[in-house]
Structure 1
Amino acid sequence: MRIAVSTGSVASLLLAGVLIVVVVSAWLMVRRLQAVQRRSTAETERTRRWAEEQAARQRAELDRREERLTEELGRLRVQEGELAQWSVDLERARSEAIELVAHRARALERAAGLSAEQARAELVREAETEARREAAVTVREIERAAKEEGERLARGIVAGAIQRLAGEQTAETAVSVFRLPNEEMKGRIIGREGRNIRAFESVTGVNLIVDDTPASVQLSCFDPVRRETARLTLEQLVEDGRIHPLRIEHVHERSREEVARRCVRAGEDALLAVRIDGMHPELVRTLGTLRYRASYGQNVLGHLVESAHLAGMMAAELGVAPEPVRRSALLHDIGKALTHEVEGSHAAVGAEFARRHGESAEVVHAIAAHHGEVEPRTVEAVLTQAADACSGGRPGARKESAEVYVRRLERLEEIARAHEGVAAVYAMQAGREVRVMVRPEVVDDLGAQVIAREVAKQVAEELTYPGQIRVTVVRESRVTEVAR
Structure 2
Amino acid sequence: MDSNIVFLIIALIGIALGFLISKFLEKNNSSKVVENARREAETILKDARNEGESIKKDKILQAKEKFIELKSEHEKVILGRDKKMAETEKRIRDKESQVSNELSKNSKLNKRVEDKLKDYTHRVEYLEKKQEQIDKLHDRKIQQLEIISGLPAEEAKAQLVESLKEKAKADAMAMIQDSIEEAKLTAQQEAKKIIINSIQRIGTEEAIENCVSVFNLESDDVKGRIIGREGRNIRAIEAATGVEIIVDDTPEAIILSCFDPVRREIARLSLHRLVTDGRIHPARIEEVVAKTKKQIDEEIADIGKRTIIDLGIHGLHPELIKIVGRMKYRSSYGQNLLQHSREVAKLCGVMASELGLNPKVAKRAGLLHDIGKVPETETELPHAILGMQWAEKYGEKPDVCNAIGAHHDEIEMKSLISPIVQVCDAISGARPGARRQIVDSYIQRLKDLENIAFGFSGVKKAYAIQAGRELRVIVESEKVNDDKAANLSFEISQKIQTDMTYPGQVKVTVIRETRAVNIAK
- Taking structure 2 as the reference length, the TM-score comes to 0.43
